[in-house]
Amino acid sequence: MKIELASSYGFCYGVKRAIKIAEEHPSSSTYGPLIHNKDEINRLKKNFNIGLVESFKEAQEVDSIVIRTHGIPKNEYKELKAEGKEIINATCPYVTTPQQIVEKMSKDGYSIVIFGDKNHPEIKGVVSYAEDLRNAFIVLEASELDKLPLSSKVAIVAQTTRKPSDFMKIVNALILKVKEVRVFNTICNATFENQDSAAELAKRADVMIVIGGKHSSNTKQLHSICKNYCSDSYLVENETELDPKWFEEKELCGISAGASTPDWVVQKVIDTIKKIALL
């Protein structure tokens, strides 16, 4: 069986930057998981004594706080700063961009539409930058727009890890519904590249392995895309979750990885698949 890696996969710029920042601040604590990858979080804890606080109340009890790649709500950031905490901001620049757009466009009188998952930490942070939260709306489907009290001017941004095709469905529906629409494509380039290369490989593969955190939005998107082209597509966090049955009578095993998946985890998965293939 041949094993082939997607031409673009794994760590994006924002994740690399966040890990470097965390490593430069040993014995600090991240507010929420720095990235959606448990193995990398455990490595940072073991090698750099990086702690983890899960709630705002816990964040108030530590002195040095690393802000996760997904960002945090604006009011929490301001309050922690006012309390004199050392704040190390590892928010991905691609996430900071929609925060700034939402803040500016809402001040300019635009209704805000955010395409994304309302329960995702990135979106919780982005929406908090709206001047008036009553005029900021989070949607996943174009059909949801019909129920919203939108003004005649709308600005729309997207969660950084969403599919461009799904974003365009909402944009097109808005254009037909609202007099003025300002569209800001805030989907990350690395997301485009990883998704396109995973799709290309999945079309040729007999089995696809997508590596990444089960709570990672971009990893779940990759798995969904691969599943469209290769029915035998599986999402694993690490090599321990591989099932030898997946590789029986397969000729080409394709591998992709989410933006929060480190190379050392990918390599362990590849090494394990090679051992399975020899059994």
- Which of the residues are catalytic? 122
- Which residue, 251, 214, 265, 211, is CA-closest to 233? 211
- C-alpha span between 62 and 36 (Å, rounded): 22
- C-alpha span between 115 and 127 (Å, rounded): 11
CA angle 112, 115, 116 (to 5 degrees): 125
How many angstroms separate the Cα of 246 from the Cα of each of 167, 209, 270? 33, 10, 14
How many angstroms separate the Cα of 223 from the Cα of each of 25, 143, 161, 199? 33, 25, 13, 10
Helix (H, G, I), strand (E, B) or coil at 4: strand
For residue 175, what is the enclosing H or E element?
helix 164-177
Contact in structure between 14 and 265 (CB atoms under 8 Å)? no
- C-alpha span between 201 and 199 (Å, rounded): 5
- C-alpha span between 93 and 217 (Å, rounded): 17
Contact in structure between 41 and 262 (CB atoms under 8 Å)? no
